[in-house]
Amino acid sequence: MIAGRDQRRKFSNKLMLVLAAAATVLALLPLGSILLYVATKGLLALNWDFFTQLPKPVGEPGGGLANAIVGTLILVGLASVMGIPLGIMTGIYLAEFGRGRLAWLVRFTCDVMTGIPSIIVGIVVYGTIVVAMKRFSAIAGGVALAIIMLPLVTRTTEEMLKLVPNSLREASLALGASQWRTTYSIVLRSAMGGIITGSLLAVARVAGETAPLLFTALSSRYWHTGLDQRIASLPVYIYTYATTPYEEMHRLAWGAALVLVAMVLVTSIAARLAGRRAGGGR
Amino acid sequence: MDTRLLVEDFSAWYGQTQAVKNVTLPVYASQVTAIIGPSGCGKSTFIRCLNRLHEVIPGTRTRGRVLLDGQNIYDDKVDPAEIRRRVGMVFQKPNPFPTMSIFDNVAAGLRVHGLPPGTTAEEVVEKSLKMVGLWDEVADRLQDSGVSLSGGQQQRLCIARALAVEPEVLLMDEPCSALDPVSTLKIEELIKGLKEKYTIVIVTHNMHQAARVADYTAFFLNGQLIEYGVTSDIFTNPRDQRTEDYITGRFG
């Protein structure tokens, strides 16, 4: 009787373990195959020319996407310069100073903005900046990406600052430090690792955005000539080249996909490392 | 005897709850004053009013005056930051800044207020650490993190941090409650040594500690000051029945 119950318990224990393991494998399968597929297809496209040459006109073989790589770096750089400081400042306001209705409104807006499809952000930036400037531009693309980053950076900053124990704030205030000084040199420094991680993950997130760029930065076959001019980017090149009927362009699109995945991967790993290094002090 | 702090008809609230009720109490210079009483009697709230730290919690308010050397610290023109430099505080749990080295922890207040004329940060840090008896233990690892020390050492580091900005008064909110008996003894010895230079107010729920270190003792109950006087009088000859009940262990 007791032996039977024991066996049943052991059996169900094993069964659940097998099920959980199977679910994990099933979940990793598509992720793994995406990486593998992109890697095998993409590696064939990568050569020296890919990183140094401009795209060739339709029908001509060879060429590269050097302008799109540089363009993506510029766009993500622009977005970071605008989005990260603003997001961190807003997060500081929410965590350290914000009380009452205004803070509630900012928090609620951030939550809604995280869920807004990125194409809507593109349309709004098109309707405002692009229409006003009467042309597509790197600036407009950067603004669109920054708007997508903003709520991510804000909320991570707020969460990280809230993890800093109140006793540290009081210790600093009790020394006669002002509230701003306490926030800056005690609270912010203690939470820096987490904030860097969150910001880099937001960078990785927008690096692959395509939809908002179609309305804002558009694309370009040439090197970028100014921030007020349209600019090439990897995601938009993947989109346009993959929808053409030409084998050569498909090849380049796969190459672009691999480079983009690698960029995102490196950023994510850097984010984890930054978090772990700064987290050690806590 | 000089009165360093004079609390006059002082009350403090958290929202609608009144935690300190019409307390009037003089704190004498170069003496140790202990605040005792059962949990929730308002003794911690009271001591946090003496450096205006109560008001940093949202929804709190105060009424009454606290005179530091004759000046009301709740006057509109007074900068709370300046009051907090002159009235230092040590907390229940040691709270060194985790991102800072031992040296930087002690120097943190100096970075805010500037160095006293004719001194260097190294001198002030060494002097402060020597005052709390930590110098010999940490002199060769000043650049280590402040949180690498033991609990008792961390608390002495926090005391050194508070002393570095040369306050006139040192508030201690149950400074030994998170420490082992040996560390507790060290802190108590330290308090006795510091009182020559500083006026000390210590909150404790440990009556024996009050009896050991304090010259004056105030007994709080339900936010009210029940009895205040020379420590030996409070413990051997209390005037109020409630004080006697508390110190003989009938409640609290």
Contact at CB, A175 and B93, closer than 8 angstroms: no
Integer CA distances (angstroms), B125 to A6, A62, A249, B115, B166, in order = 65, 67, 67, 11, 12
Q: Which helix (H) or strand (E) holds A131?
A: helix A131-133
Fold of the domain spanning B3-95+168-247:
Rossmann fold (3.40.50)
Whether pLDDT at A280 is above 50: no
CA distance to partner chain A, nearest, from residue B237 (Å) = 36
Q: What is the pTM (predicted TM-score) of this model?
A: 0.84
CA A170/CA B89 separation, integer angstroms: 9
CA distance to partner chain A, nearest, from residue B107 (Å) = 11
Domain ranges, ordered by start, for chain B: 3-95+168-247
User: Is the Cβ of A99 closer than 8 Å to some Cβ of chain B?
Assistant: yes
Mutate to test the interface with A, among B95, B124, B143, B177 (most CBs of A within 10 A): B95
Task: Say if residue A77 is in the same domain as residue A163.
Answer: yes
Mean pLDDT over B136-159 rounds to 94
| pLDDT score at B117 | 86
CA A177/CA B81 separation, integer angstroms: 6
pLDDT band at B1 (very low <50, low <70, confident <90, very high): confident
The closest alpha carbon to A90, from A146, A164, A166, A174, belongs to A146
CB-CB neighbors (< 8 A) of B96 in chain A: 171
Mutate to test the interface with A, among B47, B48, B82, B99 (most CBs of A within 10 A): B99
Of chain A, the percentage scoring pLDDT greater than 70 comes to 97
The SS3 of residue A189 is helix
Count of alpha carbons within 13 Å of B227, Cβ hemisphere only? 19
The number of distinct structural domains making up chain A is: 2
Of B85, B95, B98, the CB nearest to A176: B85
Terminal alpha carbon distance of chain A? 53
CA A56/CA A52 separation, integer angstroms: 12
CA B135/CA B125 separation, integer angstroms: 9
CB-CB neighbors (< 8 A) of A190 in chain B: 97-99
Q: Give how far the C-alpha of residue A167 lies from the chain's centroid of Cα atoms, to the nearest Å.
A: 33
Mean pLDDT over A48-59 rounds to 89
pLDDT band at A282 (very low <50, low <70, confident <90, very high): very low
User: Does residue A164 contact residue A187 with C-beta atoms inside 8 Å?
Assistant: yes
User: Is the Cβ of A181 closer than 8 Å to some Cβ of chain B?
Assistant: yes
Whether pLDDT at B188 is above 90: yes
Summarised one tens digit per residue, pLDDT across range A2-33 is 677 888 999 999 999 999 999 999 999 999 99
Task: Say if residue A89 is in the same domain as residue A221.
Answer: yes
ipTM attached to this prediction: 0.91
Summarised one tens digit per residue, pLDDT across range A168-225 is 999 999 999 998 999 999 999 999 999 999 999 999 999 999 999 999 998 988 898 8
CA A225/CA A244 separation, integer angstroms: 26
Task: Say if residue A38 is in the same domain as residue A76.
Answer: no
Closest chain A residue to the Cα of B160, Cα to Cα = A175
Task: Say if residue A24 is in the same domain as residue A133.
Answer: no
Integer CA distances (angstroms), A277 to A1, A160, A192, A220, A281, in order = 55, 15, 10, 40, 8
Cβ count within 10 A of residue B60: 17
Find the chain B residues whose C-beta atoms sit closer than 8 A to any C-beta of A.
51, 53, 56, 58, 81-85, 88-89, 91, 93, 95-99, 108-109, 111-113, 145, 147, 158, 161-162, 165
Task: Say if residue A14 is in the same domain as residue A139.
Answer: no
CA distance to partner chain B, nearest, from residue A93 (Å) = 15
User: Is the Cβ of A103 closer than 8 Å to some Cβ of chain B?
Assistant: no
Summarised one tens digit per residue, pLDDT across range B200-249 is 999 998 899 999 999 999 999 999 999 999 999 999 999 999 999 999 88
CA A77/CA A83 separation, integer angstroms: 10
Task: Say if residue A73 is in the same domain as residue A30.
Answer: no
Residue A188: partners with Cβ closer than 8 Å, 6 or more residues away: A92, A161, A195
CA B208/CA B139 separation, integer angstroms: 33
Contact at CB, A178 and B53, closer than 8 angstroms: no
Task: Output A281 or A248, whichever has higher pLDDT.
Answer: A248
The closest alpha carbon to B5, from B162, B167, B194, belongs to B167
The closest alpha carbon to A258, from A246, A266, A248, A269, belongs to A266
pLDDT band at B116 (very low <50, low <70, confident <90, very high): confident
Contact at CB, A99 and B161, closer than 8 angstroms: no
| pLDDT score at B141 | 94
Task: Report the DSSP pairing between strands B87-90 and B71-72.
Answer: unpaired
| pLDDT score at A99 | 81
| pLDDT score at A107 | 93
Residue A250: partners with Cβ closer than 8 Å, 6 or more residues away: A241, A242, A244
CA A91/CA A109 separation, integer angstroms: 13
What is the domain-level CATH number for residue A175? Answer: 1.10.3720.10
Whether pLDDT at B144 is above 80: yes
Listing DSSP states for chain B in one string gives --EEEEEEEEEEEETTEEEEEEEEEEEETT-EEEEE-STTSSHHHHHHHTTT-GGGSTTEEEEEEEEETTEETTSTT--HHHHHHHEEEE-SS----TTSBHHHHHHHHHHHH-PPTT--HHHHHHHHHHHTT-HHHHGGGTTSBGGGS-HHHHHHHHHHHHHTT--SEEEEESTTTTS-HHHHHHHHHHHHHHTTTSEEEEE-S-HHHHHHH-SEEEEEETTEEEEEEEHHHHHHS-SSHHHHHHHTTS--
Task: Say if residue A201 is in the same domain as residue A87.
Answer: yes
CB-CB neighbors (< 8 A) of B147 in chain A: 281
Task: Say if residue A225 is in the same domain as residue A171.
Answer: yes
Residue B165, token pair as written in the block: 């900005």
CA A213/CA A209 separation, integer angstroms: 7
Question: A119: domain range?
Answer: 50-279
CB-CB neighbors (< 8 A) of B162 in chain A: 174-175
User: Does residue A203 contact residue A76 with C-beta atoms inside 8 Å?
Assistant: yes
| pLDDT score at B118 | 87
Mean pLDDT over A152-178 rounds to 94
Mean pLDDT over B182-203 rounds to 93
For residue B221, report the phi and psi dihedrals to the nearest 5 degrees. Answer: -150, 125
Contact at CB, A176 and B112, closer than 8 angstroms: yes
Contact at CB, B82 and A190, closer than 8 angstroms: no
Residue A254, token pair as written in the block: 């796969």
Task: Say if residue A12 is in the same domain as residue A69.
Answer: no
Task: Say if residue A148 is in the same domain as residue A8.
Answer: no
Closest chain A residue to the Cα of B53, Cα to Cα = A174
Integer CA distances (angstroms), A253 to A147, A221, A259, A260, B127, in order = 27, 14, 10, 10, 67
Summarised one tens digit per residue, pLDDT across range B63-113 is 999 999 999 999 999 999 999 999 999 999 999 999 999 999 999 999 999
Task: Say if residue A38 is in the same domain as residue A129.
Answer: no
